[in-house]
């Protein structure tokens, strides 16, 4: 993968909730929920279209120390692309996650970007969430902050 590639994180039709040590991302378009660990979240947040892979590697090393392997960013970007959390897929690097783990050793395994994903069934989602695509989806959702407005984050709220 070209180290000068500048990934851009997708931010449309996503509901993002930051938690201690992780970021939860719900994709309204695909009904997928993704839990990004600290490293994956750091990489995703720095996919601004201004930072190249090399820039993100430097930022990650500055944040977590010099013991970070540069291929962790490439693995993380590929994983984000597989989860459709980037606007454009990066060129395929051919990296093997297992080989990267073997190379960095157990001491740095904590830094490996991890994304846990799960599909939310539409029927179950409708009864317990405030997600929407239009204001009509908010009507009757009495537990939501708004029953008349679907905001830009796809939530029934002002």
55 in a structural domain: yes
The residue ranking higher by pLDDT, 154 or 70, is 154
Instruction: At 88, list the tokens.
Output: 């454009």
* Per-residue pLDDT at 55: 94
Q: Looking at the whole model, is its pTM more than 0.75? A: no
The reply to whether 36 and 21 lie within a common domain is: yes
The reply to whether 55 and 98 lie within a common domain is: yes
Please give the residue range of the domain that contains residue 91: 14-119
The reply to whether 36 and 85 lie within a common domain is: yes
DSSP state for residue 150 in the 8-state scheme: B
* Per-residue pLDDT at 120: 64
Closest by CA to 34, choosing from 102, 115, 144, is 115
Instruction: At 130, list the tokens.
Output: 């405030």
* Per-residue pLDDT at 122: 55
Instruction: At 117, list the tokens.
Output: 């994903």
**Is there a contact between 62 and 95 (Cβ–Cβ < 8 Å)?**
no
The reply to whether 29 and 73 lie within a common domain is: yes
**Is there a contact between 3 and 52 (Cβ–Cβ < 8 Å)?**
yes
Alpha-carbon span 73 to 97, nearest angstrom: 11
**Is there a contact between 146 and 156 (Cβ–Cβ < 8 Å)?**
yes
* Per-residue pLDDT at 28: 86
Q: How many structural domains compose the chain? A: 2
> What digits encode the pLDDT tens for the residues 88-127?
877 766 667 677 666 666 545 556 677 877 776 554 444 4
75 in a structural domain: yes
* Percent of the chain surpassing pLDDT 70: 78
Alpha-carbon span 1 to 70, nearest angstrom: 12
CB atoms within 10 A of CB 41: 22
> What digits encode the pLDDT tens for the residues 22-42?
999 999 888 889 999 998 999
């Amino acid at each position: 993968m070209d180290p000068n590639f500048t990934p851009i994180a997708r931010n449309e039709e996503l509901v993002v909730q930051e938690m201690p040590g992780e970021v939860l991302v719900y994709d309204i378009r695909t009904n997928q929920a993704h839990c990004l660990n600290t490293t994956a979240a750091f990489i995703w947040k720095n996919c601004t279209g201004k930072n190249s892979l090399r820039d993100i590697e430097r930022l990650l090393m500055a944040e977590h120390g010099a013991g970070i392997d540069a291929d962790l960013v490439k693995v993380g970007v590929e994983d984000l692309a597989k989860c459709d959390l980037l606007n454009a897929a990066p060129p395929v690097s051919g990296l093997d996650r297992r080989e990267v783990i073997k190379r960095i050793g157990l001491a740095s395994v904590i830094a490996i970007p991890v994304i846990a994903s799960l599909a939310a069934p539409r029927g179950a989602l409708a009864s317990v969430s405030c997600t929407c695509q239009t204001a009509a989806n908010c009507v009757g959702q009495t537990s939501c902050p708004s029953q008349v407005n679907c905001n830009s984050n796809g939530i029934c709220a002002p």
